[in-house]
């Protein structure tokens, strides 16, 4: 399962992070498509962090920052 870091603690209630079988499938798909798991984790965490806001002001630069590590 994932490492408990400050960035992904809020994801522990999601099946992809809480269920070992689901997490293993996620890891397999990430490996197959050369997508770092931390990129997926940060994108999901960012979305959850901002979901209560009517307008996600400043979210696009954060998306670019996270996806910029994908190179």
Please tell me whether residue 1 adopts helix, strand or coil conformation. Answer: coil
Instruction: For 6-49, write each residue's pLDDT tens digit.
Output: 444 478 899 889 999 999 999 999 999 999 999 999 999 988 88
pLDDT of residue 50: 83
- Cβ atoms 63, 43 nearer than 8 A: yes
Domain residue spans in the chain? 9-68
Q: The pTM is what?
A: 0.74
Rg over alpha carbons for the chain, rounded to the nearest Å, is: 13
pLDDT band at 3 (very low <50, low <70, confident <90, very high): very low
Instruction: For 57-69, write each residue's pLDDT tens digit.
Output: 788 888 899 988 8
pLDDT of residue 44: 92
- Cβ atoms 41, 7 nearer than 8 A: yes
Taking the C-alpha atoms of residue 24 and residue 5, their distance in angstroms, rounded to an integer, is 18
């Amino acid at each position: 399962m994932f490492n408990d870091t400050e960035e992904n603690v809020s994801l522990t209630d999601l099946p992809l992070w809480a269920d070992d079988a689901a997490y293993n499938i996620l890891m397999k798909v990430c490996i197959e498509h050369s997508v770092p798991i931390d990129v997926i984790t940060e994108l999901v965490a960012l979305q959850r962090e901002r979901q209560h806001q009517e307008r996600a002001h400043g979210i696009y630069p954060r998306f670019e920052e996270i996806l910029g590590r994908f190179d």
